[in-house]
């Protein structure tokens, strides 16, 4: 089954209240797209031309509703990212920022910053290759999580208790730097997605989220909304049951929900005030399940949330494992077009 509309045509029709072919979705392969063109994950991450080729291949094969470029601040602050040949990238060395470090500027020239050269190449390359069909999405870590990547998650969590002044200084510097990048994207036709996993209710309580995460998310989201003309998506991993309404109050336009959360509960809590997305299980179903498990998982998500008042779009509950079997990806996108065909028929769920 093939789509009858491009993503740009689909979202334009939604905005104008016209019929569409199928339900939009937020599924993406991330570094897993490297397998489609037979390259290493390290090549995908470090060689912009190969990343562009892999992203375009994923878009063409599966009909993704967005293609994306990730911009991290880690290396700008002196921490070091590691890109394994066949594994998920991670932070190899964090850095303890001194007060002198926090009093100096970073990212004064976003478009010529060496650590972001690949980001700009991928962004421009994707726009040139498929930008007339699909909007490019720029993803950043949320300020709280980016601070954890730079100084270490353990250090950040200790400092919000032992030295909150220092923690706030780090967070202020991080979001200040991120906003410089966002401002440099003025004029691009794009959307934003924010991933703030360390702000999870699994790691910090609600009062810590309200003091150390939400205010900085708001600052970043205000800048993104001004530049993109649309509100960003916010994803926080793990159990977010106690902060759902706080997440909705950040200025986000969509809440992405981890698969540990019950969509019925989420719909009851915030479904009337903000669109929701997410919840398909990336590990239990996509990586370890069968194609039938994949189909059943998608159907369950639709059954629970298709009638969410502000809207629901299916996507993964967290990042897709790189080694996800190809047959499970095929099953997912076949099921999406089968059960997500418009007008939706809830009896199929």
Structural domains in the chain? 7-348 (3.20.20.210)
pLDDT digits (tens, 9 = 90+) for 101-121: 999 999 999 999 999 999 999
**The predicted structure's pLDDT at residue 113:** 96
Q: What is the pLDDT of residues 125-183, one digit of tens each?
A: 999 999 999 999 999 999 999 999 999 999 999 999 999 999 999 999 999 999 999 99
pLDDT for position 293: 98
Contact, 250 vs 209, CB < 8 A? no
- Give whole-number Cα distances, 57 to 33, 37, 50, 67, 338, in Å: 8, 8, 10, 10, 22
User: Which pLDDT band holds residue 2 (cuts at 50, 70, 90)?
Assistant: confident
Q: Who's near 12: CB < 8 A, 6+ residues apart?
A: none
Q: Decide if 191 contacts 135 (C-beta within 8 A).
A: yes
pLDDT, position 222: 98
pTM of the prediction? Answer: 0.95
For 302, other C-beta atoms within 10 Å of its C-beta total 22
The yes-or-no verdict on residue 1 having pLDDT over 70 is: no
């Amino acid at each position: 089954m093939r789509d009858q509309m491009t993503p740009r045509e689909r979202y334009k029709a939604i905005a104008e209240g016209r019929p569409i072919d199928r339900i939009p979705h937020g599924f993406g392969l991330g570094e897993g797209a490297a397998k489609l063109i037979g390259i290493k994950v390290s090549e995908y991450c470090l060689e912009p031309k190969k990343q562009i080729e892999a992203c375009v291949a994923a878009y063409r094969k599966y009909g993704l509703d967005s293609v994306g470029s990730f911009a991290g601040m880690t290396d700008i602050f002196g921490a070091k990212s590691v890109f394994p040949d066949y594994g998920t990238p991670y932070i190899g060395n964090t850095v303890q920022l001194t007060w002198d470090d926090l009093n100096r500027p970073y990212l004064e020239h976003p478009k010529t910053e060496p650590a972001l050269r690949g980001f700009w190449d991928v962004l421009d390359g994707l726009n040139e290759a498929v930008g007339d069909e699909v909007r490019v999405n720029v993803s950043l870590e949320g300020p709280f999580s980016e601070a954890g990547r730079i100084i270490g998650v353990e250090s950040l969590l200790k400092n919000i208790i032992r030295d909150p002044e220092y923690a706030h200084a780090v967070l202020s510097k991080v979001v200040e730097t991120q906003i410089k990048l966002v401002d440099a994207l003025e004029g691009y036709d794009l959307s934003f997605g924010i991933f703030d996993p360390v702000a999870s209710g699994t790691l910090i309580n609600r009062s810590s989220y309200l003091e150390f995460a939400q205010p900085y998310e708001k600052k970043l989201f205000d800048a993104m909304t001004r530049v993109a003309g649309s509100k960003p998506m916010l994803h926080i991993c793990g159990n977010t049951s106690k902060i759902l309404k706080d997440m909705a109050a950040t200025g986000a336009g969509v809440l992405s929900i981890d698969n540990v959360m019950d969509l019925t509960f989420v719909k009851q809590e915030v479904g009337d005030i903000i669109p929701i997305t997410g919840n398909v299980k990336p590990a239990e179903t996509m990586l370890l399940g069968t194609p039938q498990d994949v189909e059943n998982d998608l159907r369950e998500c639709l059954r629970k949330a298709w009638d969410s008042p502000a809207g629901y779009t299916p996507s993964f509950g967290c990042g897709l494992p790189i080694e996800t079997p190809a047959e499970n990806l095929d099953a997912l996108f076949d099921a999406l077009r089968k059960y997500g065909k418009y007008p939706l028929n809830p009896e199929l769920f």
